[in-house]
Amino acid sequence: MFVSAIQEVAKFTRPLHIVTRNYNSNIAVPGSATLFFVNELGVAITCKHVVDLLAKAAVINSTYQNFKAEKAAIPKTKQYDRHLQDLEKKYQYSSNSIIEILLNFINITSDNPINFKFINHPTYDLSIIIIQDFKNPLYSSHAVFSKDSSALQQGKFLCRLGFPFPEFTNFEYVSSSDQLQWTTSGNVNSPQFPIEGMVTRHLRDATTIYGVELSTPGLKGQSGGPLFDNQSIVYGMQFLTHHLHLGFDMKNYEIVSDGKPIKVNNQPFLHVGRCIHMDIIKEFLSQNQIRFYEK
């Protein structure tokens, strides 16, 4: 029932490719996020936690360059290991520390690099991304929000679109320079992935309905993706997956597997997607004098 709607929404929904590397590792880990455009002027929305990563990337990369410069200056003496440990403590580096991040906006404009600014919502996980000096677009169409929020009730069946399974491989670790880089070879794309769900509950804080919950999870990488109906009308934006303990716990529960009795433990959860309500999105766009469309 969402075939034509997915085709339409895909015209203005785009992935952000992310590659990270931890300290003392040459393993590059690909990831992704999603954004979608609200007008023809190069203005998109995504999650605040995605934009926070964009903002941190330059600082993280610069900090590691400083670390490398100080490390190279350590004399190669018997005290080298101790001095290196002191330097690691100074930078608070451990095997779990992210030291490098590569970011790439995909199929937004033919211009490179992309310059952008962002506006974070003061309360909710929502940000506006504005592509500066925008021209030569590679997206077509834009989101059209529902004018009537009363339709967003329990039982309404909706869909989300994003890029949760990163399959791009156009990056590498260069040992000689100890850094990640994009390459001109490898797969440059990741497939879009839709997932449907029924509205189960509204999300409220002390004063406001700020979101809706769906009966299925939003998948990692779909953060920032649109929530829409079978007419491609947008009702919100995926931002979080919440985990509800079902209470059907099994401890040392005996089953037969391959003809043999075994004991299993299981604590099942229901994973539900959470989306920012379109009224919050439209209000935030209006406050910042951003053009958007309704139907």
Residue 66 lies in a domain: yes
Instruction: Give 206-231 pLDDT, tens digit per residue.
Output: 999 999 999 999 999 999 999 999 99
Instruction: Give 71-83 pLDDT, tens digit per residue.
Output: 999 999 999 999 9
Residue 283 lies in a domain: yes
Q: Is the pLDDT of residue 113 over 90?
A: no
How do beta strands 98-105 and 29-37 pair? Answer: unpaired
Q: How far is CA 104 from the centre of its chain?
A: 13
Give me Rg for the CA atoms of the chain. 23
**Environment class of residue 241 by beta-carbon count within 10 Å: exposed (0-12), middle (13-18) or buried (19+)?**
middle
Instruction: Give 229-261 pLDDT, tens digit per residue.
Output: 999 999 999 999 999 999 999 999 998 999 999
- Domain with 14, as residue range(s), is 3-287
Confidence bin at 114 (pLDDT 50/70/90): confident
Tally the domains of the chain.
1
Residue 219 lies in a domain: yes
Residue 217 lies in a domain: yes
What does pTM read for this prediction?
Answer: 0.91
Residue 275 lies in a domain: yes
Residue 169 lies in a domain: yes
Residue 292 lies in a domain: no
Instruction: Give 170-189 pLDDT, tens digit per residue.
Output: 999 999 999 999 999 999 99
The enclosing domain of 89 has a CATH number of 2.40.10.120
Tokens (6 digits) for 179: 């850094």
Average pLDDT over residues 128-152: 94
Q: How many CB atoms lie within 10 A of CB 265?
A: 9
- Cβ–Cβ under 8 Å, residues 187 and 58: no
Residue 294 lies in a domain: no
